[in-house]
């Protein structure tokens, strides 16, 4: 347990302390613990200890009305009832963002930036990628370290004064810097240096408050808090909100701030609009975020910085933003990409309402209505049995949708979805379409309510719904459908990505009895398969090559493929980066794992539980003995691959005849070469396939040698 700098609840109150200084100490302590609890998510004291501090403060303040302060943390209970909201003119326009809908848009955006910047500036380009929070934009004003005004965005020029409501948001600092401004002891100094900061922070741990700070943030509520609130409201026959965003917005625009105070509002801050009276102001978005965090503001840790060289990686990261969304407890509306340097932001300026230096990356969700023909249940890889909508095919955003998820039994019952209903469907990017709700006004009386079947449609085992869970399971470990789904996931994109191995192969090989566990994927009876219909020589050769190549993927892919609870692509990469190989990870305990940045106790426990089971350990041994890679590094000479590309730098572009880009990258790295994202004078070879675009042009201009896949294989001595 860290050293307590606020001794009030550990030692008896010194009799000499005056009530006034006691109030100050208590205020600082309450603020400090609220910050640890709400912002850092890392409380030091129990709820009861905290309540004791809070109540003592409330009592003393009640006894001494002359010592009241609008900045006291007790003020967050709200109470002011506004007649209507006052209008506030923003000190600078609160702009919106232009959208980008895919990799092409992102590349076009970057090209435009580069055209607008002189060459020496292009070299300094870097980007910050942040989640696009789906809440209500707020503008917060601080003067001499005190929160004085907060407003909504309004029309971008004029917003509404919602200060009393914002004061009730627990994570919003009423004074800055939050920690220790009343406490300048050496112990406090020491402690503050020990607070780890996920963003490298060039600023002093003792910032003096700016004379003026105006910043922008997003107020939101988590999905769980939203659901709980709606359930409570429903039980009491009160109004519910349509989604977390509306709930957040509605809660901040209540005229009675004591009601806002009871709403579970949270906040992320992400943009400094005005900063005055600071000696060494941040020069970039990345530094601004670190600075805001230093002052005690909540700043989302899910932010990344990419240099211009890494733009391809940035685009890959964006393409996987659904991963991130799935991991976060609140809703996202896409991602935001910003030019990092503030000087460049200024130079790039605006077009109309949108800054040129930032874009919102989205995958365009769209809705449509169609008929629900049937509800079919599907067994997933964890044994969870989920109801799926069988729909009359309907086009949404250029794609024909004929199936959608219905989540679970309760979802169907709560929304009263009936077979035969006309339903509203939403398709967002590449995620599975979902049924939002039925349109009961279109019923003709023939619609049928639905019930979860009693037995597994595949193996006939009785289905089980554990107490307190929404999901229903087929608990038969030998249910063939489960294994098919596990294999499908294992060989799929994001995991081992085996070319030529899809659902059809998973089903066929499980049904034929070739696959009993995941390791069997690497131990298939090729002679038997070659004799099967549809598996000619070429097909078999390709499939074998695909499986062989997959053995050499970084171990993070294998880890992803195991389908451990809470361990998706991103988590697997974070975890594997912390260990030399999979056996080392298997030996780690919960404490070691939770110490990794980005890994919480839930994930750590899930990993430890998985690897504590003997069959799972045996499975990993089996992988190892079949020659599947256990580490994350590229293969070394010691492993028997020659290094013809040692010291050479490659860039890959276009579509290659037989390899995916990832495979080509692994191939080059296995032979000692390095692969980077963009062509420069330092590039030795451009590996180009069909539809190579600007990179090919650039390589030709710079005189960089261009190879085809065949040439590369030839040079590698194949
Ligand atoms: S930057 C001029 N960053 O998205 C800079 N905006 O369409 C523009 N939003 O309502 C804002 N998360 O408030 C930025 N990480 C983030 C954001 C974000 C959500 C909101 C923004 C506005 C909308 C813009």
Specify burial of residue 637 (Cβ count, 10 A radius: 0-12, 13-18, 19+).
exposed
Measured from the CA of 137, which atom of ligand 1 is nearest? 13
CATH at residue 441: 2.40.50.140
CATH at residue 681: 3.40.50.10190
Cα 329 to ligand 1 centroid, rounded to whole Å: 19
CB 222 within 8 A of CB 230: no
Ligand 1 within 6 A of CB of 97:
yes
Nearest CA to ligand 1 atom 10: 137
Residue 637 confidence class, pLDDT cut points 50, 70, 90: very low
pLDDT digits (tens, 9 = 90+) for 77-100: 655 556 678 889 999 888 888 888
pLDDT digits (tens, 9 = 90+) for 141-167: 999 999 999 999 887 888 899 999 999
Which string of DSSP letters, residue by residue, matches 16-66? T--HHHHHHHHHHHHHHHHIIIIISS--SS-HHHHHHHHHHHHHHHHH-GG
Q: Are residues 299 and 201 in the same domain?
A: yes
Q: Are residues 531 and 577 in the same domain?
A: no
Q: Are residues 426 and 352 in the same domain?
A: no
Which of 434, 464, 494 is the last residue in one of the domains?
A: 464
Instruction: Report pLDDT for 343.
Output: 97
Judge whether residue 379 has pLDDT over 60.
yes
Q: Are residues 527 and 577 in the same domain?
A: no
Instruction: Report pLDDT for 193.
Output: 43
Measured from the CA of 95, which atom of ligand 1 is nearest? 2
Judge whether residue 514 has pLDDT over 90.
yes
Judge whether residue 469 has pLDDT over 90.
no
**Mutation pick for ligand 1 pocket among 101, 134, 137, 286 (CB with most ligand atoms within 8 Å):** 137
pTM over 0.85: no
Residue 713, both tokens: 């294989």
Peptide bond into 162 cis (omega under 30): no
Ligand 1 within 6 A of CB of 299:
no
Ligand 1 within 6 A of CB of 134:
no
Instruction: Report pLDDT for 610.
Output: 93
Q: Are residues 312 and 348 in the same domain?
A: yes
Judge whether residue 667 has pLDDT over 70.
yes
Residue 242 confidence class, pLDDT cut points 50, 70, 90: confident
Which of 306, 339, 361 is the last residue in one of the domains?
A: 361
Q: Are residues 529 and 431 in the same domain?
A: no
Nearby residues of 676 by Cβ (< 8 Å), 6 or more positions away: 309, 649, 650, 651, 683
CATH at residue 560: 1.10.150.20
Judge whether residue 201 has pLDDT over 60.
no
Cα 192 to ligand 1 centroid, rounded to whole Å: 30
Q: Active-site residues: which are they?
A: 132
pLDDT digits (tens, 9 = 90+) for 692-705: 888 888 888 888 88
CATH at residue 157: 3.30.470.30
Cα 265 to ligand 1 centroid, rounded to whole Å: 18
Average pLDDT over residues 372-384: 92
Ligand 1 within 6 A of CB of 132:
yes
Is 685 a member of any domain? yes
Is 157 a member of any domain? yes
Average pLDDT over residues 349-362: 87
Judge whether residue 575 has pLDDT over 80.
yes
Judge whether residue 274 has pLDDT over 60.
yes
What is the tally of structural domains in the chain? 5
Judge whether residue 609 has pLDDT over 60.
yes
Q: Are residues 317 and 214 in the same domain?
A: yes
Is 78 a member of any domain? no
Ligand 1 within 6 A of CB of 357:
no
Is 134 a member of any domain? yes
**Mutation pick for ligand 1 pocket among 98, 159, 336, 354 (CB with most ligand atoms within 8 Å):** 336
Is 13 a member of any domain? no
Average pLDDT over residues 201-220: 79
Instruction: Report pLDDT for 619.
Output: 95
More confident position, 406 or 35 = 406
Instruction: Report pLDDT for 582.
Output: 95
Which string of DSSP letters, residue by residue, matches 476-510? -TT-HHHHHHHHHHHHSTTTT--TT--HHHHHHHH
Rounded mean pLDDT of the chain? 85
Q: Are residues 120 and 202 in the same domain?
A: yes
Measured from the CA of 360, which atom of ligand 1 is nearest? 7
Nearest CA to ligand 1 atom 18: 132
Cα 389 to ligand 1 centroid, rounded to whole Å: 35
More confident position, 107 or 78 = 107
Which of 515, 550, 585 is the last residue in one of the domains?
A: 550
Instruction: Report pLDDT for 633.
Output: 63
Instruction: Report pLDDT for 357.
Output: 96
pLDDT digits (tens, 9 = 90+) for 678-693: 888 888 899 999 888 8
SS3 363: coil
Ligand 1 within 6 A of CB of 590:
no
- Which residue is associated with the tokens 């289905």? 463
Could you tell me the residue range of the domain that residue 501 belongs to?
480-550
Is 472 a member of any domain? no
Measured from the CA of 300, which atom of ligand 1 is nearest? 15
Instruction: Report pLDDT for 402.
Output: 93
698 φ, ψ to 5°? -65, -40
Q: Are residues 570 and 603 in the same domain?
A: yes
Cα 134 to ligand 1 centroid, rounded to whole Å: 9
Q: Are residues 664 and 588 in the same domain?
A: no
**Mutation pick for ligand 1 pocket among 156, 218, 267, 332 (CB with most ligand atoms within 8 Å):** 218
Measured from the CA of 131, which atom of ligand 1 is nearest? 15
Q: Are residues 156 and 241 in the same domain?
A: yes
pLDDT digits (tens, 9 = 90+) for 576-598: 989 999 999 999 999 999 998 87
Is 693 a member of any domain? yes
Provide, rounded to the nearest whole percent, the portion of the chain with pLDDT above 90.
Answer: 46
Ligand 1 within 6 A of CB of 96:
yes
Q: Of the ranges 241-255, 376-390, 423-437, 595-609, which one carries the lowest mean pLDDT score?
A: 423-437
Ligand 1 within 6 A of CB of 137:
yes
CA dist., res. 656 & res. 663, Å (int): 10
Q: Are residues 143 and 238 in the same domain?
A: yes
Measured from the CA of 132, which atom of ligand 1 is nearest? 12
Cα 596 to ligand 1 centroid, rounded to whole Å: 29
CA dist., res. 315 & res. 330, Å (int): 23
Residue 228, both tokens: 């709980």
Is 31 a member of any domain? no
Nearest CA to ligand 1 atom 2: 95
Instruction: Report pLDDT for 206.
Output: 54
């Amino acid at each position: 347990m860290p050293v307590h700098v606020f001794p009030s609840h550990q030692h008896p109150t010194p009799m000499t302390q005056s009530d006034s200084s006691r109030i100050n100490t208590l205020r600082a302590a309450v603020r400090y613990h609220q910050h640890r609890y709400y912002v850092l998510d890392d409380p030091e004291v129990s709820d009861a200890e905290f309540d004791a501090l809070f109540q003592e403060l409330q009592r003393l303040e009640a006894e001494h009305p002359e010592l009241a302060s609008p900045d006291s943390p007790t003020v967050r209970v709200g109470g002011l009832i506004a007649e209507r909201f006052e209008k506030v003119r923003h000190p600078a326009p609160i702009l919106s963002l232009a959208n980008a809908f895919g990799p092409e848009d992102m590349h076009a955006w970057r090209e435009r930036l580069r055209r607008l910047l002189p060459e020496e500036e292009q070299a300094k380009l870097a980007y910050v990628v942040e989640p696009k929070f789906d809440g209500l934009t707020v503008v917060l004003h601080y003067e001499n370290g005190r929160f004085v005004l907060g407003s909504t965005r309004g029309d971008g020029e004029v917003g509404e004064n919602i200060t009393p409501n914002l004061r009730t948001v627990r994570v919003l600092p009423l004074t800055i810097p939050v920690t220790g401004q009343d406490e300048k002891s050496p112990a406090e100094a020491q402690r503050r240096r020990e607070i780890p900061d996920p963003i490298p922070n060039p600023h002093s741990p003792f910032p003096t408050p700016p004379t003026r700070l105006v910043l922008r943030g997003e107020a939101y509520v988590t999905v769980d808090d939203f659901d709980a609130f709606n359930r409570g409201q429903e039980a009491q026959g009160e109004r519910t909100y349509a989604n977390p965003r509306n709930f957040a917005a509605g809660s901040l625009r209540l005229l009675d701030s004591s009601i806002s105070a009871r709403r579970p509002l949270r906040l992320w801050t992400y943009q400094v609009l005005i900063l005055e009276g600071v000696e060494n102001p941040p020069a970039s978005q990345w530094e601004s975020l670190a600075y805001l965090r230093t002052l005690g503001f909540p700043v989302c840790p899910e932010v990344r910085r990419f240099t211009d060289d890494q733009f391809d990686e940035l685009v890959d990261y964006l393409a996987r933003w659904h991963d991130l969304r799935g991991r976060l407890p609140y809703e996202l509306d896409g991602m935001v990409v910003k030019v990092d340097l503030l000087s460049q932001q200024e130079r790039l300026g605006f077009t109309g309402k949108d800054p040129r230096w930032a874009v919102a990356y989205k995958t365009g969700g769209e809705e449509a209505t169609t008929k629900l023909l049937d509800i079919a249940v599907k067994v997933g890889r964890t044994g969870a049995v989920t109801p799926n909508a069988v729909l009359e095919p309907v086009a949404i955003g250029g794609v024909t949708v004929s199936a959608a998820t219905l989540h679970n039994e309760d979802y169907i019952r709560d929304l009263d979805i009936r077979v035969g209903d006309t339903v509203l469907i939403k398709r967002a990017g590449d995620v599975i379409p979902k049924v939002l709700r039925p349109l009961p006004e279109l019923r003709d009386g023939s619609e049928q309510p639905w019930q979860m079947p009693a037995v597994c449609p595949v193996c006939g085992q009785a289905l089980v719904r554990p107490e307190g869970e929404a999901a229903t399971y087929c608990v038969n470990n030998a249910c063939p459908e489960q294994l098919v789904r596990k294999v499908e996931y294992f060989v799929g994109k994001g995991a081992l990505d085996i070319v030529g191995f899809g659902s059809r192969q998973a089903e066929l090989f499980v049904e034929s009895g070739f696959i009993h566990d995941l390791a069997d994927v690497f131990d298939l009876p090729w002679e038997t398969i070659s004799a099967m219909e549809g598996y000619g020589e070429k097909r078999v050769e390709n499939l074998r090559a695909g499986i062989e190549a997959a053995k050499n993927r970084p171990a993070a892919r294998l880890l992803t493929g195991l389908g451990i609870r809470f361990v998706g692509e991103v988590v697997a990469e974070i975890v594997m980066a912390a260990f030399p190989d999979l056996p080392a990870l298997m030996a780690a305990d919960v404490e070691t794992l939770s110490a990794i940045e980005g890994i919480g106790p839930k994930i750590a426990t899930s990993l430890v539980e998985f690897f504590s089971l003997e069959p799972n350990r045996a499975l990993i041994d089996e992988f190892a003995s079949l020659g599947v890679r256990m580490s994350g590094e590229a293969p070394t000479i010691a492993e028997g691959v020659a290094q013809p590309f040692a010291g050479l730098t490659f860039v890959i572009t276009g579509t290659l005849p037989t390899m995916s880009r990832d495979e080509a990258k692994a191939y080059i790295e296995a032979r000692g070469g390095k692969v980077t994202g963009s062509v420069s004078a330092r590039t030795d070879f451009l590996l180009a396939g069909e539809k190579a675009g600007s990179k090919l042009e650039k390589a030709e201009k710079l005189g960089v040698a261009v190879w085809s896949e065949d040439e590369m294989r030839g040079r590698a001595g194949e």
